Amino acid sequence: MGYSASAFGFTDRLLQAGTNNGSYDRYTFSRLLAQLGTDSAAEQGKINLNYRNVSNGVVVPNLETQFLAWTPVEFFTNVADRLLLNLTNESEFAREFRSYPVRITNIVIWTSTNNSYNDYTPAVHRVLQLAANLYDATTTLPWLVGRMPMGVLRLLGGALSAQPRRMRDGVNRLTAPFRYRRFFRGAVRHYRQMIGHRADPGWVDPATAIARLREAGATRILLKMDIEGGEYEVLPRIDEWGEPVDLLLVEFHGIQDDPARFNALMRTIARLFVPVHLHGNNSQPLTPDGFPGMVEITFLARRLVPAGSAPEPFSYPIPELDRRSSLRGPELSFTA
């Protein structure tokens, strides 16, 4: 039996799907490659998120196969040090770093020899927060159980010293394993996979993650993003994958460092979404223009906005809704 070269075959169907206007269909080929496992050998020299593969600050090949659990301090110090070293020479951060590498052991706050020099810039703070967030993303039920003894101490210490915050923290630690089990039962699933702006080994991009949700039957998608500056890498391509998202919650960082970058990203997001609520993170002050240097914005998909709605200035915070991000300072008051 002969084969007709003009037959409508697999490549034609793939091309047809890839040129479809829907973001789900356009990424059919990318999802196919991910399922086929087209990666080559595993990358070397990278820190494993789930198991310890570092000794004395050096990645040891295949150490993760011993399934040794990270301790919080080990994970945080090694990941933060690697992130700081990688960012030292990045052009975006160069203005915030000095000629010598900023490492986890030499973040200078003040010395008498350089007349009050400060290494602890917003960029350094974001890197340290990102390292802590990465460890939080590895949270498992055994880890939560391991925090319970400290919960007893926090609860008793708070009661004896009349400190409600310590008592609440103790209760949260003691009940966390039960709340974890209750939340992830039934139809709720936890996909233990990192999401980034591109599909590197061990990661998926937003298009793939959203496609997985839709394949599982999701009809309402909420995307929350607090990735310490990484939003400027992920969101510029939101046109390619954001159409199915109903509600988008993002914390924007570094606004005071590069307001033009923030404004450009807002214009991109505005093609699909409308801001419906803002909250200033009071860990950063207002910019000279009176806008938060770090802001949490809730966006609603334009397709869900009632016809005839028009934007109007609003004063924040909203007492019945907003809470301070940091207890060490007052809420930021602004109009937007």
| 118: its two tokens | 């400060």
- Predicted pLDDT of residue 333: 87
Distance of CA 236 to the CA centre of its chain: 15
CA-to-CA distance for 288 and 285, rounded, in angstroms?
A: 9
- Predicted pLDDT of residue 21: 59
CA-to-CA distance for 324 and 186, rounded, in angstroms?
A: 34
| 65: its two tokens | 């196969």
pLDDT tens-place string over residues 30-89: 666 665 654 455 556 788 877 788 887 888 877 777 667 777 788 888 888 888 877 765
- Predicted pLDDT of residue 3: 42
- Predicted pLDDT of residue 299: 94
Sign (positive or negative) of CA dihedral 241, 243, 247, 250: positive
What pTM was computed for the model? 0.56
- Predicted pLDDT of residue 91: 43
- Predicted pLDDT of residue 271: 93
- Predicted pLDDT of residue 250: 92
- Predicted pLDDT of residue 252: 92
| 304: its two tokens | 């869900």
Q: Looking at the chain, list the stretches that DSSP marks H as alpha helix, in order from N- to C-terminal side.
A: 10-18, 23-26, 28-36, 72-87, 91-94, 122-137, 141-146, 148-160, 164-183, 206-215, 231-234, 238-241, 259-269
Intervals of the chain under pLDDT 70: 1-10, 14, 17-44, 66-67, 88-101, 110-118, 136-143, 192, 201-202
- Predicted pLDDT of residue 1: 43
For 169, the 3-state DSSP assignment is helix
- Predicted pLDDT of residue 267: 94
Given a contact cutoff of 8 angstroms between Cβ atoms, the answer to whether 108 and 117 are in contact is yes
For the chain, the structural domain boundaries read 1-38, 54-183, 197-335
